[in-house]
Structure 1
Amino acid sequence: MSGKQAHTAISRSVTEKLRNGQVVTIRPMEKSDIELERAFITNLSPESRHFRFLGGIGEPSEQLLKQLTDIDHDEREAFIALLESDKGPLEIGAARYILEASRTAAECAVVVADDWQMQGLGTLLLNRLIESARARGVKHLYSIDSAENIKLRDVARSMGWDCHTDPQDHTQVIFTLDLSAT
């Protein structure tokens, strides 16, 4: 499969079943998802917002929302997990990465809505990121996270990510995954 074919295969929407039996749709993020992203971030608990953004943010700014939803699907990739509700689509998770200039490594992040944590969605989103990164020839993924985020540490370790304390900040950890070895 060529790189373009691989990208096309991961650029489609897929449905997945969570541990609780709920079916979600995971698809690439679009600019038009800005209001879904606003509601999603606003409804995260302060702890989840802290873990995702490594700091206290309240209402997300327009600049942040544009940055999170203006995805080129090449250097910047993002996937969104959606449920259909009686009020329309509801975002319950997002995963993203941004390539470094070398295009061989990418920083990534995943966040799952508080009510949907521990249902396997984080793993599904991470797997989608890994698949996308491999299709682009990325050799390493990494994430800088709060050392207090025990749930993420457990998921990452179960998926084979290495974890070590950030030498610049002992309150943070760095997860790395060698994509050429897995």
Structure 2
Amino acid sequence: MRLFTALDIAPPQKKVLASMRGSLPGAIWLPPESYHVTLRFLGEIESRHTAEEIDFALSRITAVPFALQLNGTGLTTTGRGRKLWIGVERSDELLRLQARIESALRRIGLVPDKRRFQPHVVIAHLPDDTLVERWMQIHNLGRYDPMPIDRFALFESHRGPDAPHYENCAEYLLDPKAVSLVHPA
């Protein structure tokens, strides 16, 4: 099973992001139900026991709820094409939560993620010849209402013919009474 931890996007923000669908000819727009902010991609987890260890480790994380701010646009090129995304501001609370997830997963033996955490919401995949610069200039100025975050989730990714489907396997509530230290744990 392909697992990752993420923040789900609230319905009002999904609606705003979905309103962009169709605004860039040639883009393959993701369905709004797949919008999320990946906190840590875990990859293929073969063992049910390892999946249970992951679930237990994630359930022990404490962090305070916070507001997530979408802001700006970006484009990432990977071996599987280009991804168009909406950026996420790197708040202290978001970075602490992500660091605690990374730390919990390392403690159970998962290999650390070498990539720098760059929070974003992928909204479309682009063929190589899609002209995107003007679209990004127009939408880069967009500001979105802050979104309250009171939980994170463990998702399983299922490959589909057009786009992957994400199944929410478990949710972990954030605790308003949790002590939020200056440095990530």
TM-score range relative to shorter protein: under 0.3
The structure with the largest alpha-carbon Rg is: 2
User: Which structure: greater helix fraction?
Assistant: 1
TM-score (norm 1): 0.25
Instruction: Say which structure, 1 or 2, has more relative contact order (CA 8 Å, 6+ apart).
Output: 2
